[in-house]
Structure 1
Amino acid sequence: MVCALGAAVCFGTATVLQAMAARAAAATGAAEPGASGPGTSAGEAALLLRALRQWRYLAGLALDGLGFVFQIAALRSVPIYAVGAALAASLAVTAVVAARLLRVRLSGLEWAAVGVVCAGLAMLGLASGAEGDLSGPGWLPYAMPVAAAGVLMLGAAGARMSGRARALLLGLGAGLGFGVVEVAVRLIGSLRPAALFTDPALYGLLLGGGAAFLLLTSALQRGSVTTATAGMVIGETLGPAAVGVVWLGDRTREGLAWLAVLGFAVAVAGALALARFGEAPAGTDTPAPAPVAH
């Protein structure tokens, strides 16, 4: 659980650092004569290149990498439902860090939501047992690349929509893609190259993660950050948690199932209340060129 919380801190802090770098890169670009305008492909590519020259953006990428290592360690040690809720809590970390570094003003309700997330995670920490010891049915690893392909199809359908429906569907698809990653990590049995590269769960992990990143980036570029992030939180928590409980043997401490369910619901509800912090926090003039990593 410490690793899951460490991943949340890394991802949440990385989001703010990348937002700060994007603001600085945008300001630099605006001062350059002949710079491409925002919203064009050339302008977005130039913004990303300028951001990559900012130490804050590079530090954010490093934190994303460290957070992914923590995420893998957590998924191999505690139930998926606990890790999913902790990752959703990275929005609370983003909110708190943004209030300090970006001088984003949090409302009383948002500070309350941060407290709610912490309370939910505390309940989960008390109630969570060890990770399940079941490998699931034989078809489950093969279902991972199929599910990842389904995420891409969902993204194609969402791209044809507009407004909040588009952002919600793409965000939900991104969450499901991140969920495929969570489940696939648990299904990978051996890290020996001969076994790893013939494991279908590995290809589900790679395809699911790539699809999730693409869908979330698209949702955040042309839709509501709040709506897209809310869809992502729902997709990456509910589905993987159900797979862990039904097929992988994830359980709670004896007699504390009710506390785990309550803690999960409270943590996710608090994260949804902070959904506007899903990318660059409110108050930044220019969105970060990359979404929250998982």
Structure 2
Amino acid sequence: MILGMLCALGSAVSYGTATVLQAVATRATAPGGGSGVDPRLMMRAMRQWRYVAGLGLDGLGFLLELVALRSLPIYVVGAALAASLAVTAVVASWALRVRLSRVEWLAVGTVCGGLAMLGLASGAEGAGTGSMALRVGALCTAVGVFLFGAVAGRLPGRARAAALGLGAGIGFGVVEVSVRLVDGLSPGALLANPAAYALLLGSVAGFLLLTSALQRGSVTAATAGMVIGETLGPAWVGVQWLGDRTREGLMPLAVVGFVLAVAGALVLARFGEAPEDQTAE
């Protein structure tokens, strides 16, 4: 349990720091044409060293997330991942000299307090490994994220950013759920498990839609959509179908902690990307 919580927090730190690096690189990348989803945007962004460094931190964060998801309820890990925005805000205030308002500093404290409540209230991960129907559902959802992104990319302005961010969050949420649905790591078991494909497709869809959303639209709208997509749905699936529970009598504390962590992250949504006047050299 302690190792899982440390991994969840380490994942948040990795993701939060990566966001600052990637955001600067993404804004410095020439936009493409067509809809709001540009598959070639990620390749162009990778010419920026900050983006590559951010991807390395994302990789580390993903590995820590995998460990956390194998020992903690999904609702705890999801809230911790949303809390990466608090890390981004603090890193941006230090590295980029971004001024945080009193409300935003309060939001950082609220996120930390919410995570502390979750840490106290959460039980071990549920024992359920999910039915085949749930695994197929995860795969269908991952494919649906690509289709959703194709439609969302054609929406105007702020709606496009919010929709792409929501789609990205759903993609990352599929990853959170799929990790729990992978119950065997042998090649044969992985090839026969739809959740393994869902995990890969959810990751790619999430990165693609989020990169497009941040490069082309409102950072706040995109990040807020992502936070909602990657926390609420996966937490519900974990409780409803995978047996995630709290410690005896501490469900109210867990609910309050989850709400505080997510609400604080939403207040900090503008830190889903560095300020626009910060550009890569």
TM-score, normalised by the number of residues in structure 1 = 0.86
Change (3 A) 1:103 1:253: same
Q: Does 1:10 align with 2:2?
A: no
Change (3 A) 1:77 1:115: same
Q: Select which of 237, 240, 249 maps to 2:243.
A: 249
- CA positional deviation for 1:213: 1.4
Q: Does 1:48 align with 2:45?
A: yes
Q: Which has the larger radius of gyration?
A: 1
Within 1, Cα distance between the matches of 2:127 and 2:61? 24
Contact 2:111 2:261 in 1 (8 A): yes
Q: Does 1:285 align with 2:278?
A: yes
Task: Identify the residue that residue 34 of structure 1 maps to in structure 2.
Answer: none
Within 2, Cα distance between the matches of 1:287 and 1:272? 26
Gap runs ≥5 in structure 1: 27-36, 289-294
Contact 1:127 1:257 in 2 (8 A): yes
- CA positional deviation for 1:197: 1.8
Within 2, Cα distance between the matches of 1:46 and 1:156? 19
Task: Identify the residue that residue 82 of structure 1 maps to in structure 2.
Answer: 76
Percent of aligned pairs sharing the same letter: 66
Amino acid at match of 2:68: A
What are the residue-to-residue correspondences of 1:1-294 with 2, within 5 Å?
1-19=5-23, 26=28, 38-40=30-32, 48=45, 50-52=47-49, 56-279=50-273, 281-282=274-275, 284-286=277-279
TM-score, normalised by the number of residues in structure 2 = 0.90
Contact 1:172 1:228 in 2 (8 A): yes
Task: Identify the residue that residue 29 of structure 1 maps to in structure 2.
Answer: none
The ranges of structure 1 where at least 4 consecutive aligned residues each deviate by more than 4 angstroms after the TM superposition are 19-23, 43-47
- CA positional deviation for 1:3: 0.7
- CA positional deviation for 1:70: 0.3
Contact 1:19 1:287 in 2 (8 A): no
- CA positional deviation for 1:92: 0.3
User: What is the number of equivalent residue pairs in this alignment?
Assistant: 271
Amino acid at match of 1:39: P
Change (3 A) 1:149 1:48: closer
Amino acid at match of 1:12: G
Contact 2:12 2:87 in 1 (8 A): yes
Amino acid at match of 2:138: M
Change (3 A) 1:49 1:248: closer
